[in-house]
Amino acid sequence: MKEKLLEFKEYIKKIEYMNSATSVLYWDMRVGIPSKGIPYRGEVLGHLSGEIYKLQTSDTMKGFIEYFDGLENLDETTESMVQRAKKNYNQTKKIPEKRYVEYTVLVTKAEAAWEEAKSKSDFNIFKPFLQEVVDFNKEFIGYWGYKTNKYDTLLDFYEPGITVEKLDKVFSGLRVAIVELLNKIKKSDVKPDSSIFTTGFSKERQEAFGLFVLNKMEYDFEAGRLDESVHPFTIEFCNMDVRITTNYHENDLKSALFGSIHEGGHALYEQDIPDSLQGTRLGQGVSMGIHESQSRFYENILGRSKAFWTYFYPELKKTFPEFNSISLDDFYISMNEVLPSLIRIEADELTYSLHIIIRYEIEKALINGEIEVEDLHKVWNAKYKEYLGVEPNNDAEGVLQDTHWSGGSFGYFPSYALGNLYGAQFLEKILKDIPDFYQEIEKGNLSDIHSWLKENIHKYGAIHTPSELIRMVTGEDLNEKYFIEYLNKKYSEIYNLK
């Protein structure tokens, strides 16, 4: 068996090499490629993903899975590795190859159609493509099967173990709590002035301060780098090369700064994964939701806290003396202004989850055939009016704003809100383990919290499922309670609520 395991690991390693090479090409395409080079790069990436598909679904892979699956006395890591390979094999293998290839081609076209539709703000351009993407996903669910709800099958790709039943429960509690808090905030006399962040800040200064914060976070620049791209992202080639990007806007200080902190949170997770998990396919974050819990922890729970700015505000003023006349309190309150808006990625910490709940409800209904693509923009606008009290003027700021659906990523959106919930559950435990947590943050010590996250979450990579992990770390299952408490406490103080 020992020999067979070595062979299996060698085989898995080959897949990881291919993935790593693909990631480098992908990173380069988004960060540095000249525009004329894009079509050929697309061909190369298409070819490579086909080769990876073959390795993952080959008879050799099938042989390994059949040999190891159900074998007793496997250590925890090997068992996880086998189960991951098996799941992956089944997911891809169950789809007829011809349909898989057709879908890959369709998605490329749908992404281009979405871009055109968004730039012209015309949902009709995107509609026929979206219809096909939805039909394909429904057909795939037919191959994969489902237990109680068709949408569960798609959720499982991004957050293994998460179901409609669980999400309905936590999201409905969360929605009610946020709307209640929002109504109180509307009546508050506190009126934050967020114009202080939009007066013009050169890219050079923003970059210098962003690098300062990332260094304090202990992002390892010898195992990573910061570049620019239109949409910020994190990508790993291995645990020793985890890169992040950000996007500078001269008239918005917050965008690049919080973008860098967010991606830095993702990157710490990947950089902290131990060498021993390389070559097992477990050397990565376990799920999108847990990943978002790390990025959002740094961006919001830390990055938008008073303790964080108690240390960083004097530092910020060294780079941006225009803030010298603004008190820490005013700065902090302005940074946390709550303003229901149309665009998800610009939303404040409180209303953000409502944007996600809207998308979740729409996707769930769409995949289960309760609404049609035809109705999407009407449903979208009605939900925005009901939950956030705002209505899009056009499709670009409404149903066309996100790219996810054009790529067929149904089931992805809930990860963002799950990240908020997990993050608050972790915080609850952190405050027990590190009683002087906030005092240390006030001193600029981000080391203790980094060590805690590394020791309790990062070091496991993808060995445990998300539900196992949250239970192991906090002793509880996923729930909305702690995030609601966190929001209530934070915004009651800021908005002086009774």
Q: Which residue is nearest to Co ion (CB)?
A: 295
* 8-state DSSP, 241: E
Question: Considering beta carbons, is residue 123 or 483 the nearer one to Co ion?
Answer: 483
Question: Considering beta carbons, is residue 56 or 295 the nearer one to Co ion?
Answer: 295
Question: Considering beta carbons, is residue 295 or 420 the nearer one to Co ion?
Answer: 295
Q: Check residue 279 and give left, alpha or beta (phi > 0: left; psi -120 to 50: alpha).
A: left
End-to-end CA distance of the chain: 65
Number of neighbouring beta carbons within 10 Å of residue 480: 22
Least distance to Co ion, CB of residue 423, Å: 12
Q: Coil, strand, or helix at residue 246?
A: strand
Question: Considering beta carbons, is residue 295 or 353 the nearer one to Co ion?
Answer: 295
CA nearest to 291, candidates 269, 312, 275, 307: 269
Distances (CA, A) of 494 to 258, 265, 351, 451, 466: 20, 25, 15, 30, 33
Cβ proximity of 360 and 413 under 8 Å: yes
Question: Considering beta carbons, is residue 56 or 415 the nearer one to Co ion?
Answer: 415
Least distance to Co ion, CB of residue 311, Å: 24
Active site residue 263: yes
Least distance to Co ion, CB of residue 22, Å: 20
Q: Rule CB under 5 A: which residues touch Co ion?
A: 295
Least distance to Co ion, CB of residue 234, Å: 7
Least distance to Co ion, CB of residue 1, Å: 40
- The active-site residue, picked from 132, 159, 236, 263, is 263
Cβ proximity of 257 and 210 under 8 Å: yes
Q: How many helices (H) and strands (E) does the chain have?
A: 20, 3
CA nearest to 349, candidates 257, 420, 244: 420
Cβ proximity of 396 and 402 under 8 Å: no
Question: Considering beta carbons, is residue 280 or 295 the nearer one to Co ion?
Answer: 295
Question: Considering beta carbons, is residue 206 or 294 the nearer one to Co ion?
Answer: 294
Cβ proximity of 363 and 381 under 8 Å: no
Least distance to Co ion, CB of residue 266, Å: 6
For the record, the structure tokens of 181 come out as 């808090």
Cβ proximity of 155 and 409 under 8 Å: no
Least distance to Co ion, CB of residue 56, Å: 25
Least distance to Co ion, CB of residue 498, Å: 35
Q: Check residue 274 and give left, alpha or beta (phi > 0: left; psi -120 to 50: alpha).
A: beta
Whole-number Å distance between alpha carbons of 401 and 414: 16
Question: Considering beta carbons, is residue 245 or 336 the nearer one to Co ion?
Answer: 245
CA nearest to 250, candidates 209, 205, 292: 205
**Residues 327-331: contacts with CB under 8 Å, at least 24 apart:** 330/193, 330/196, 331/196
* Alpha-carbon Rg for the chain in angstroms: 23
What are the residue numbers of the active site? 263
